Structure formats: structure tokens, C-alpha cells
């Protein structure tokens, strides 16, 4: 079976490169992690742009709904993005 090279790529927020844009397709984790992310506006269907990431698994900075947010590396790994 041949792979479709035009299919959208799904990555975690930590795998995105700076200035990459995408749409949130999945948020993994337990109730508390999902609830915290939802309270920050991180929800399925939202558009997101990665701003930066600090060295050695430091905070990940991204923009959503015109606001810049920073999350720890471990929780940022739980956010799955379809690259645009």
C-alpha cells in the first residue's frame, strides 16, 4: 500500500518547529491535565502557533486565540497537532 504524501502530519506540540502552525486534534492525559488545558483555552479544533521551546526540555511557548502561553515540556507532549 502506498503512503499518501499529502495526508496531514500529526505531531505533539513539542515536535513542532518554531513558527509551525496547526490545529489541535487530541489532548491526552488524565482528568486534571485535560481540565487545566481546557481552562487555558487549549481545546480540540483550536488553531495554534509554536513560538519557541527552551533547551533541555524547558517550557514550550505557543500562541492560541491571540494569547501567548507557556507549558512545561511533559504536558506539551500531550497536545497532538495536525500541521497546516
Pairwise CA distance, residues 73 & 16, whole Å: 12
Element (H, E) at 68: strand 67-71
pLDDT tens column, 41-56: 999 999 999 999 888 8
Angle at 81 (CA atoms; ends 77, 84), nearest 5 degrees: 145
Average pLDDT over residues 9-23: 96
Q: Which residues contact 1 (CB under 8 A, 6 or more apart)?
A: none
SS3 26: strand
Q: Record the pTM.
A: 0.86
SS3 2: coil
Domains of the chain listed by start with CATH number: 10-83 (2.30.30.90)
Kindly indicate the confidence band of residue 5, based on its pLDDT and cuts at 50, 70 and 90.
low
> Could you tell me where the DSSP H helices lie in the chain?
31-39, 73-76
pLDDT at position 11 over 70: yes
Amino acid at each position: 500500500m502506498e503512503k499518501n504524501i499529502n495526508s496531514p502530519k500529526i505531531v505533539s506540540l513539542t515536535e513542532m518547529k518554531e513558527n509551525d502552525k496547526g490545529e489541535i486534534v487530541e489532548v491526552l492525559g488524565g482528568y486534571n491535565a485535560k481540565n487545566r488545558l481546557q481552562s487555558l483555552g487549549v481545546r480540540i479544533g483550536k488553531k495554534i502557533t509554536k513560538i519557541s521551546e527552551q533547551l533541555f526540555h524547558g517550557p514550550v511557548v505557543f500562541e492560541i486565540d491571540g494569547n501567548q502561553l507557556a507549558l512545561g515540556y511533559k504536558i506539551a507532549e500531550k497536545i497532538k497537532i495536525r500541521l497546516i
